[in-house]
Amino acid sequence: MCYAIPGRVKEILEKTVLVDYFGEERKAHNEIDGLTVGDYIYAQGGYVIEKIPAPEAEEILAVWKETFFELQEVDLRLSRLDLETKGIGAETVRILDRAMEGKPPAKEELLQLLRSEDPTHLDLVFKTANFLRQKYLKNACCVHGILEISNHCKQGCHYCGISLHHKALPRYRMTQEEILAAVQEAVKRYGFKALVLQSGEDPGHSVEELEEIIRTIGREFPALIFISFGEIGIDNLKRLYDAGARGFLMRFETSNPELYAKLHPGQTLATRLEHLRKAYEMGYLIITGGLVGLPGQTLEDIVNDIYLARELHAEMFSFGPFLPSPGTPLAGFKPVNESEMLKVIAGARLVEPTEARVLITTAFETLSKEARRKGLLAGGNSVMLNVTPRQYREKYALYPDRAGKSELIQTQIDETIALLGSLGRSPTDLGAK
């Protein structure tokens, strides 16, 4: 099973190629020399990552062809929207109506939509978000892998289970050989086409070592590589981009500067945002977002977070629930509830209906067994599977009882494919329109 469908190059215009997927066309940026019209490729996140031989591609496409259209039909049926407005306020209907015409709500309007606790109202908001996801992005659902290469971190973020605060946590740092072996397994054995390499802010992996790892991956294991090593400095971001990384995952956590300062001793929101802005200017695909339900956070803050993620050109919105973690200063606070998380997923989709991936985070899956299904039906279209070797996974203890912390990669894949199939989603990334 692959996590991208082969596409056929239809047109080439300098570094941009037009790719055909069963009659649907997408654009992708190409950095592969010698690509010609008629070639088959895999693309991820709008990048061509690999050229594949025609017989291999045609065999895969033959298997996919029927399934592809069947899944689309199921998705279309499940996302059909009957604007049943009984019991819904006229203003809500007006805002959602406009959203369905591709006019995202203004901040005040989104606040009004998300303030409600009425299940009928919220159901309509979630269904509208799902309708928009289907209308603009069809049934593709990104399935990225995440590899946690070290749980060392020099920072003391108050909510984080791998921060300096958690003194009792056993620490690990994967060697270069272990990292490359895990990438090889994820790409070659399990077919992942996009991988996030993640760690705490760990000076124990030097930038030279990270460059070498990324270069080796680029040469040997074709995949779109996202880096998520925290605030590594603008120069180092550039070095890793030049080495071949094309995505940058870093949440700003909260757009409220005072709250940010309280939770992140010695760090500033401005520095974090500068990393995200510069990374975008360098050409990185940006995954960003915030924590939902932090002590002291208001709904206004959360709505501001959604708009900030859009302003930062998030190609993937990543919002996770605050989950109290033992050994941290926020250990005694309550987690946020499922409904608040669904509101944020739907809010992100309403604000960015046409392009963005909206991730159902592992933290949300930890909070709720139904997170994936409900999140995918509230505007979400992306999931991540954990490909960290199991002996390390448990130690990447951002919060307790993390979903997927002990499942085999194959089990995670099987469960994901089954769920996506039941919702009519293809585990693919068809790239940008």
CA distance 48 to 342: 32
Cα–Cα distance for residue pair 248/227, rounded to 1 Å: 5
In the complex, minimum distance from the CB of residue 255 to ligand SF4, in angstroms, rounded to a whole number: 16
The region, left, alpha or beta by phi > 0 then psi within -120 to 50, assigned to residue 102 is: left
Specify whether the CB–CB gap between 355 and 432 falls below 8 A: yes
Tokens of 349: 């989709």
User: Least distance (Å) from ligand SF4 to the CB of residue 393?
Assistant: 15
Rg (the chain; Cα; Å): 21
How far apart are alpha carbons 59 and 55 in whole angstroms? 6
Q: Give min distance, CB of 391 to ligand SF4, in A.
A: 20
200 forms part of the interface with ligand SF4 (CB under 6 A):
yes
Residue 201 found at the interface with ligand SF4 (CB under 6 A): yes
The interface region with ligand SF4, picked from 154-162, 286-294, 302-310, 314-322 by CB under 6 A, is: 154-162
259 binds ligand SF4 per the rule CB under 6 A: no
Which one of 68-76, 155-163, 168-176, 371-379 is the stretch in contact with ligand SF4 (CB under 6 A)? 155-163
Q: Min. distance of Cβ 383 from ligand SF4 in angstroms?
A: 21
- Nearest 10 degrees: Cα torsion 104, 341, 355, 255: 80
> Does the protein bind ligand SF4 through residue 197 (CB under 6 A)?
no
Check: CB of residue 321 under 8 Å from CB of residue 279: no
Window contacting ligand SF4 (CB under 6 A); options: 18-26, 40-48, 151-159, 405-413: 151-159
What beta strand segments (E) does 262-399 contain?
Answer: 285-288, 291-292, 314-317, 320-321, 357-360, 382-386
Q: Tell me the one-letter amino acid at 414.
A: D
Q: Binders of ligand SF4: how many residues, by CB under 6 A?
A: 9
Q: How far is the CB of 103 from ligand SF4 (least distance, A)?
A: 35
Considering only residues 216 through 255, tell me which ones interact with ligand SF4, judged by CB under 6 A: 230
Q: Which window, 56-64, 109-117, 152-160, 406-414, contacts ligand SF4 (CB under 6 A)?
A: 152-160
Nearest-angstrom CA–CA distance, 405 and 390: 7
Neighbours of 240 (CB within 10 A): 26
Helices assigned H by DSSP within 231-337:
234-243, 257-263, 269-282, 299-311
Stretch of 54-62, 150-158, 400-408, 419-427 contacting ligand SF4, by CB under 6 A: 150-158
Q: Segment near ligand SF4 (CB under 6 A), from 74-82, 160-168, 277-285, 366-374?
A: 160-168
Q: How far is the CB of 277 from ligand SF4 (least distance, A)?
A: 18
If the CB atoms of residues 200 and 404 are measured against ligand SF4, the closer one turns out to be 200
Write down the least CB distance from residue 141 to ligand SF4, Å.
Answer: 26
Nearer to ligand SF4, 41 or 153 (CB): 153
Q: With binding defined as CB under 6 A, does residue 153 bind ligand SF4?
A: yes
The rounded distance, in Å, linking the Cα atoms of 216 and 220 is 6
155 is an interface residue for ligand SF4 by CB under 6 A: yes
- Exposure b/e, 247-286, CB count within 10 A at least 16 = b: bbbbbbbbbbeebbeebbeebebeebbebbebbbebebbb
How far is residue 163's CA from residue 147's CA, in Å, rounded to a whole number?
18
What are the angstrom distances between the C-alpha of 45 and each of 143, 144, 240, 374? 11, 10, 18, 24
Q: CB of residue 290 vs ligand SF4: minimum separation in angstroms?
A: 12
Taking CB under 6 A as the binding criterion, the range among 42-50, 57-65, 157-165, 361-369 that sits at the site for ligand SF4 is 157-165
Rule CB under 6 A: which of 346-405 touch ligand SF4?
none
320 counts as binding ligand SF4 under rule CB under 6 A: no
* Residue 249 beta carbon to ligand SF4: minimum distance, rounded to whole angstroms: 11
* Chain residues that interact with ligand SF4, rule: CB under 6 A: 153, 155, 157, 160, 162-163, 200-201, 230
